[in-house]
Amino acid sequence: MGGRMERSGGSTDSDPLVRAFFDPPDASKPWAYWWWLNGDVSREGITRDLREMKRQGIQGVLLFHAGAQLLEGVVLSGADEGVRTGPRFLSPEWIELFQFAVKEAAGLGMEMSVNLCDGWNAGGPWIEPQHAAKKLVFSEVQADGPGKKTVRLPMPRVLGDYYRDVAVVAFREKLRRPVRPAAVEASSVVVGYSGELNWVPLDIVDGDPNTFWRADPKLAPTPQKPQWIEWRYHEPLAACAIHLVPSLSGGPRDCELQASDDGSLFRPVATFQMEKGEAKRVDFPPTTAQVFRLLINSAHAPDVQLAEGWLLRDGDELWSRPGIKWWWFKSGNGASLTIPSRARRLCWKSIPTTAPSMSARTRSRT
């Protein structure tokens, strides 16, 4: 149709809205992404692309140079084997082609814009870390009073090597709250589409049974090669129980709890079994250690899923901490590409008024 829509019976030329709909002005015509894949473009290709888009009624283009910073003419290997590459982004040759494209677009009466980035990352090595996109990260530590005490906040999880302190906030906590460990480490974790970590070990001590650590399903636990998760504390913890909340389908089965003073040599504390989808508290003789490790020798699914896991002192009370629903995605701590399907309709709703009990069954967010 060459950018024009054909009229059917019943339309009237006297109505300006109808006329504009069938013959829209340039300001109302669509734009299109114009990908320069690996910079493999030519003057002839630029002219042909723009003329064809103009013929189809496209009024503007957003140029997106999509490709890694590779040497010109290199044939890529692996999944991109055989793909040619052109001038590098912002190189003198690339700028000449860009200027040519701007003139060609202007000659056709088209508009043109450009993404100032190379590839998927909206930036490049010329952007210094202090000027790059950032997000707020945090860590927390619990100190028991009364009296003064010196504690060191653990380093938050950061991307790259850039980190700056913003603020330290202290507030009174409820009595007998279980001690939150300084760090939680695991034998494996499932990574998302782009390598992001959406099921991190720290999820088991966030007070939210809707989040969980998820182990790599390719490494189903066995007695010879168990999966494991460790709680590391700032100072030795005198524990007498462990409370675990699995997902409905992927929780541990045969377990052994161990303790260590240095994180290297471990001693046995308790062995137990867990039922599918059911929370469990296991009491054991008082044990003081700076590191506790849960060995998972078998599980109810290849990808072990644990929603909450707390070492308890005598008198500690379980707690839940309701917060912003799916906050790890909203804050940039999780990847939006892998938001669970059941969460998409909830992701932008308000803070929940209640939180499920930590002893209740939890639902998987896979």
Number of structural domains found in the chain: 2
- 137-140 contacts: CB < 8 A, separation 24 or more? 137/163, 137/333, 140/180
Q: Check residue 267 and give its pLDDT.
A: 97
Residue 35 resides in a domain = yes
Q: What is the CATH number of the domain that holds 218?
A: 2.60.120.260
- Residue 156 neighbours by CB under 8 Å, 6+ apart: 137, 138, 139, 163
Query: Which residues are registered as beta bridge partners of 231?
Result: 184, 292
- Residue 195 neighbours by CB under 8 Å, 6+ apart: none
CA-closest candidate to residue 242, choices 179, 185, 305:
179
Q: Check residue 159 and give its pLDDT.
A: 75
Q: In this structure, are 87 and 218 located in the same domain? A: no
pLDDT digits (tens, 9 = 90+) for 65-111: 887 544 445 445 555 555 677 888 888 999 999 999 999 999 999 99
Residue 34 resides in a domain = yes
Q: Strands 305-312 and 213-214: what pairing?
A: antiparallel
pLDDT digits (tens, 9 = 90+) for 16-30: 888 888 888 888 899
Least confidently predicted of 231-235, 252-256, 328-332: 328-332
Q: In this structure, are 194 and 289 located in the same domain? A: yes
What SS3 class is residue 66? strand
Residue 291 resides in a domain = yes
Phi and psi for 229 in degrees, rounded to 5? Answer: -140, 140
Angle at 262 between CA 253 and CA 146, to 5 degrees: 95
CA-closest candidate to residue 64, choices 131, 112, 110:
112
Q: State the first-to-last Cα distance of the chain, in angstroms, to the nearest integer.
A: 46
Determine contact, residues 296/252, Cβ cutoff 8 Å: yes
Residue 4 resides in a domain = no
Q: In this structure, are 239 and 327 located in the same domain? A: yes
pLDDT digits (tens, 9 = 90+) for 314-366: 999 987 766 666 666 677 766 655 555 545 555 544 444 443 333 333 333 32
CA-closest candidate to residue 176, choices 259, 261, 241:
241
Q: In this structure, are 196 and 80 located in the same domain? A: no
Distance of alpha carbon 184 from alpha carbon 295, whole angstroms: 14
**pLDDT higher than 60, residue 173:** yes
| pTM greater than the 0.75 cutoff | no
Residue 127 resides in a domain = no
Q: In this structure, are 93 and 194 located in the same domain? A: no
Q: In this structure, are 190 and 339 located in the same domain? A: yes
Q: In this structure, are 106 and 209 located in the same domain? A: no
Last residue of a domain, one of 114, 130, 153: 114
Cis status, amide bond into 146, omega within 30 of 0: yes
**323-344 per-residue burial string, b: 16 or more CB within 10 A, e: under 16:** eebbebbeeebbbeeebeeeee
Q: Check residue 9 and give its pLDDT.
A: 53
Residue 359 resides in a domain = no
Residue 56 resides in a domain = yes
Q: What is the CATH number of the domain that holds 82?
A: 3.30.750
Domain holding 299, by residue range, is 183-343
Residue 121 resides in a domain = no
